[in-house]
């Protein structure tokens, strides 16, 4: 009996050596969680046997439990390297559709712009609601980041101007009131001011647009009445649409704006008209273009990916455009030790772990996300080496017990009457 009892101890010590060796072997594995072997004694009695006289029958392995304590977070040069500070797992999906979970946030973009890990498993996110929050009521989907931002043609724009209140109207020499000077872009005497800027066609190519401003009538300085101006837009030296009238209340400086419609037929490779809204404001100073906003832009390439601690992902492109492409949420479980290890620091759910619960990073029960960082293994090599020595001694002691049992058995067999 003692032989088999010591044999269970020998197996237990070998198992502890294996678990400790596995911990040591993975000391450098990203996000690896060390394991502990849990043992229990074997003790069995019959209903007629006195328990006080019973001897244990050895030891058995109850479980190998992973310890999900936080590993150190180490910075990296890759923005898509993600570490979780606190509780939670990244949801991923294998190419064959299996849903798994990991704390290894070493991600990259594949040829389709999908965020994947080294094994090609795609990071999963929830679609966004119109208010930017995640819709947890629908299935997860892969997070895709476009490497290129397509061009957009200019269709609307807004011009804000400061127009001087002081200054005489143009005089065409006819003596008419008001005069009707003919605009000639090549003759600066036929207009008061000019404003040049770029708009964009369907292919994102910029084309030069100039708006010429002519002061048609002038009231006495600070008097009652309106100053009238005319605005005319030219594209590549050709008038692109009808002129519009602007008025400035001389006493208050209040301006009345108008819309200049640039016809698509006068624009290079553009399929839609452009509507420019001109908002004038009368001032005591000189003419000034305060601002110009329009909705066109050239094509752009991806230059930056910003991932916030709450998981929101924003991309920036070379054309200056930015886009919110999604939010990385975390998964958690009622019993993380119940997760099934599948290798590669990936886990699958079991009946013991319970189903995944999703939440925004930084919310209650979930850690925050660190971009440009990875979580190191939580293995303490010093402690593991001590455990290794302890397991080795246990192995030697049980081997000695087996040797002693064998010697006693041999002695009994060799006894002669």
- Report yes or no: 339 and 347 within 8 Å, Cβ to Cβ: yes
DSSP string, 321-361: -EEEEEE-EEEE-S-GGGSEEEETTEEE--TTT---EEEET
State whether 333 and 363 are in the same domain. Answer: yes
**Under 8 Å CB-to-CB from 416, ≥6 apart: which residues?**
none
Q: Is residue 155 part of a domain?
A: no
| 118 within a domain of the structure (yes/no) | yes
C-alpha–C-alpha distance, residues 84 and 105, integer Å: 8
Residue 342: partners with Cβ closer than 8 Å, 6 or more residues away: 100, 348
Instruction: With a cut of 80, say whether residue 403 has pLDDT above it.
Output: no
Shared-domain flag, residues 16 and 107? no
- Establish if 181 belongs to a structural domain: yes
**Domain final residue pick, 250, 278, 294:** 294
* CATH number, position 180: 2.60.98
255, 276, 294 — which closes off a domain? 294
What are the φ and ψ backbone dihedral angles of 92, each rounded to 5 degrees?
-130, 165
- On whether the CB atoms of residues 292 and 198 are closer than 8 A, the answer is no
- Domain boundary among the residues 247, 273, 294 is at 294
Check residue 50 and give its pLDDT.
Answer: 61
**pLDDT above 60 (res 43):** yes
In terms of domains, do 199 and 248 share one?
A: yes
Q: Specify if 236 maps to a domain.
A: yes
Do 56 and 84 lie in one domain? The reply is: no
How many domains are contained in the chain? 3
Q: Which helix (H) or strand (E) holds 16?
A: helix 2-25
Beta bridge partners of 162: 281, 288
Which range, 8-17, 24-33, 54-63, is most confident?
24-33
Label residue 147 by pLDDT band (50, 70, 90).
very high
170 and 288 share one domain:
yes
Same domain? 174 vs 244 = yes
Sign of CA dihedral 71, 75, 76, 80: positive
| Mean pLDDT of all residues in 58-65 | 88
The residue among 302, 81, 260, 15 whose CA lies nearest residue 154 is 260
* 8 A C-beta contact, residue 398 and residue 9: yes
Q: Residue 159 domain-assigned?
A: no
Segments forming the whole domain that contains residue 198: 166-294
Residues 192 and 286 in one domain: yes
Do 64 and 143 fall within a single domain? Answer: no
In-domain check, residue 154: no
Tell whether 235 and 173 lie within a shared domain. Answer: yes
Among the listed residues 176, 208, 173, 175, the one whose alpha carbon sits nearest the alpha carbon of residue 189: 173
Q: What is the overall mean pLDDT for the chain?
A: 89
Mean pLDDT of 273-279: 96
Length of the chain: 417
**Do 243 and 348 have their domain in common?**
no
Q: Give the model's pLDDT for residue 57.
A: 75
Query: Does 329 map to a domain?
Result: yes
Dist. CA 320–CA 277, nearest whole Å = 23
Give the confidence band of 300 by pLDDT, cuts at 50, 70, 90. Answer: very high
Same domain, 144 and 187: no
Claim to verify: residue 123 and residue 17 sit in the same structural domain: no
Q: What is the DSSP letter of 85?
A: E
């Amino acid at each position: 009996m003692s032989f088999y009892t010591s044999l269970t101890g020998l197996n237990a010590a070998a198992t502890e050596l294996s678990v400790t060796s596995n911990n040591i072997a993975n000391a450098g594995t990203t996000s690896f969680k060390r394991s502990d072997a849990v043992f229990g004694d074997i003790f069995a009695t019959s209903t007629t046997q006195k328990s006080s006289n019973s001897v244990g029958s050895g030891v058995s392995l109850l479980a190998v439990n992973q310890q999900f304590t936080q590993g150190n977070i180490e910075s990296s040069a890759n923005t898509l390297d993600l570490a979780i500070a606190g509780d939670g797992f990244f949801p991923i999906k294998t190419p064959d559709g299996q849903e798994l979970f990991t704390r290894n946030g070493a991600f990259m973009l594949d040829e389709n712009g999908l965020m994947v890990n080294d094994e090609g498993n795609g990071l999963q996110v929830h679609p966004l609601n119109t208010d930017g929050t995640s819709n947890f009521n629908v299935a997860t989907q892969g997070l895709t980041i476009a490497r290129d931002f397509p061009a957009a043609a200019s269709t609307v724009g807004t011009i804000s101007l400061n127009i001087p209140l002081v200054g005489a109207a143009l005089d065409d020499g006819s003596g008419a009131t008001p005069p009707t000077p003919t605009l000639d872009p090549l003759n600066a005497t036929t207009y008061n001011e000019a404003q040049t800027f770029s708009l964009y066609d369907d292919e994102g190519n910029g084309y030069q647009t100039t708006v010429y401003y002519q002061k048609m009538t002038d009231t006495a300085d600070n008097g009652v009445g309106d100053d009238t101006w005319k605005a005319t837009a030219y594209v590549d030296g050709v008038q692109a649409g009808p002129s519009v009238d602007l008025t400035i209340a001389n006493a208050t400086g209040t301006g009345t704006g108008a819309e200049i419609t640039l016809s698509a037929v006068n624009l290079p490779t553009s399929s839609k008209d452009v509507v420019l809204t001109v908002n004038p404001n009368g001032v005591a100073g000189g003419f000034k273009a305060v601002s110009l906003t329009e909705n066109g832009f050239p094509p752009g390439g991806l230059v930056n990916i910003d991932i916030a601690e709450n998981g929101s992902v924003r991309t920036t492109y070379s054309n200056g455009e930015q886009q919110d492409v999604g939010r990385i949420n975390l998964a958690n479980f009622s019993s993380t030790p119940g997760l099934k290890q599948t290798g590669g620091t990936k886990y699958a759910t079991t009946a013991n772990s319970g189903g995944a619960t999703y939440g925004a990073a930084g919310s209650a029960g979930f850690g925050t996300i660190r971009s440009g960082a990875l979580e190191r293994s939580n293995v303490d090599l010093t402690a593991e080496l001590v455990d290794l020595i302890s397991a080795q001694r246990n192995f030697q002691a049980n081997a000695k017990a087996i040797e002693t049992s064998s010697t006693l058995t041999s002695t009994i067999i060799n006894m002669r009457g």
